[in-house]
Amino acid sequence: MLTNRTTHATATILGAAAFCVVASAASAQDCEPAVSDDALIKPGTLVMSTNPTLPPMQFVDSDGELQGMRITLGNEVAKRLCLEPEYIRIEFSAMIPGLQGGRWDVINTGIFWTEERAGMMQMIPYEAQAISISVPSGNPEGIAKAEDLAGKTVGVEIGGFEEAKINLLDEELQGKGLDAIDIRTFDNFATAYQALRAGQTDATVSIDSTAAEYAARGEFDRAISGLFATPVALAMANEDLANAVLGVMNEMMEDGTYKTLLDEFGVLANTEPFVIRGPGG
């Protein structure tokens, strides 16, 4: 649903019966779980939230199955923790409240690391991402630089890093005496791209890898990329769980599994050991 930047009810998302819980086909191994049930929402299970509207990082395939780099990563983490992976598909705007409310163990949706978020959650940055501007094929508005967005209608998913940054860019442009960007917020990136396809917006903001995927498919052009490069993280509320995830992430770095996965998707991998960047860290 199209909204303006000031009117959207996160509580509606949280209260709606739109949760879709998908248990992965992967099974927990016959080994001792690395964390106690006290650290988990559901015994023996690693419950992760994801917003599968960002191909190729996280998406739903033609068979209705979750796929993508971050889903593969989450499955591997769960396997190494000897837990069963389970996913809850939910809009991004509900993810942090849901984590704080004990609805899932891990936010696994490519959440950007910020100091504000690190004050609320245990975060493990593992991926570098930036944001892109997608436009209709042929780039009819001739958008080539940030200033070209002045006076344009731009769609973005509500509640995320991308919305915050397009608002910041809007402020910067207005500070230069340029026209304001007409920012339209959507429940998720899929609907933002649908609006662009329908001609309701002039451009859509998303992460670089998703914009590149749509460009490779020939659906949209990527007019601008590499804006606001920032680490992306896994996020947890429970400190014991975060430490256990940290341990297996570093194992994956040491044995090459992590780099192989990120290289497959053309994502810049960390080279230094992972650390928790959360409250007090």
Looking at the predicted structure, is the pLDDT value of residue 15 above 50? no
Quote the pLDDT of residue 16.
36
3-state secondary structure of 176: coil
**Which pLDDT band holds residue 109 (cuts at 50, 70, 90)?**
very high
What is the rounded CA–CA span in Å between residue 109 and residue 254?
Answer: 23
Any idea how long the chain is?
281
Quote the pLDDT of residue 281.
62
Looking at the predicted structure, is the pLDDT value of residue 27 above 50? no
Name the amino acid, one letter, at 234: L
Looking at the predicted structure, is the pLDDT value of residue 13 above 70? no
Contacts of 100 (CB under 8 A, 6+ apart): 120, 237
**Which pLDDT band holds residue 17 (cuts at 50, 70, 90)?**
very low
Quote the pLDDT of residue 268.
85
CA 195, chain centre distance (Å): 20
Name the amino acid, one letter, at 145: K
Stretch 10-31: mean pLDDT: 44
Least Cα distance to 48 among 110, 109, 5 occurs for 109
Judge contact between 48 and 104, C-beta under 8 A. Answer: yes
State the alpha helices, DSSP H only, in the chain.
Answer: 10-15, 69-80, 95-100, 115-118, 161-175, 189-197, 208-217, 239-255, 257-264
Q: Which domains does the chain have, with CATH numbers?
A: 10-128+232-264 (3.40.190.10), 130-229 (3.40.190.10)
Each residue's pLDDT tens digit, 220-231: 999 999 999 999
Looking at the predicted structure, is the pLDDT value of residue 29 above 80? no
pTM of the prediction? Answer: 0.83
Each residue's pLDDT tens digit, 62-90: 999 999 999 999 999 999 999 999 999 99
Looking at the predicted structure, is the pLDDT value of residue 25 above 50? no
What is the rounded CA–CA span in Å between residue 46 and residue 7?
Answer: 33
Judge contact between 83 and 42, C-beta under 8 A. Answer: no
Stretch 97-115: mean pLDDT: 96
Quote the pLDDT of residue 280.
66
Each residue's pLDDT tens digit, 130-161: 999 999 999 999 999 999 999 999 999 999 99
**Which pLDDT band holds residue 248 (cuts at 50, 70, 90)?**
very high
Each residue's pLDDT tens digit, 184-211: 999 999 999 999 999 999 999 999 999 9
User: What six digits make up the tokens of 230?
Assistant: 């920032």
Average pLDDT of the chain is 90
